[in-house]
Amino acid sequence: MSIISSTGHSQSASSTTTLTQRLTAAFCASILGACLVYFAGFSHIEAVHNAAHDTRHSAAFPCH
């Protein structure tokens, strides 16, 4: 029979993030997402339009 011992996990300095770092990452992700939606939604490139057409309409995003 084996004995399982649990050890406490301590947070190391490399795994902690500050509030400023998290807000910066969220802001950058939001800007990237908005750019992708804008590009896909208003692109006049037929391949891009067709690739995202059903997704845009299911999300009620106008593309015509």
Q: What's the pLDDT tens digit per position in 39-60?
A: 877 778 877 777 777 777 777 7
Which pLDDT belongs to residue 23?
95
Alpha helices in the chain (DSSP H): 19-42, 46-58
What whole-number distance in Å separates Cα of residue 41 and Cα of residue 35? 10
Confidence (pLDDT) at 34:
84
Q: What is the pLDDT of residue 25?
A: 96
* Coil vs helix vs strand at 9: coil
Segment 5-35, tens digit of pLDDT: 556 555 555 568 899 999 999 999 999 988 8
More confident call, 62 vs 13: 62
Residue that wins the pLDDT comparison between 36 and 31: 31
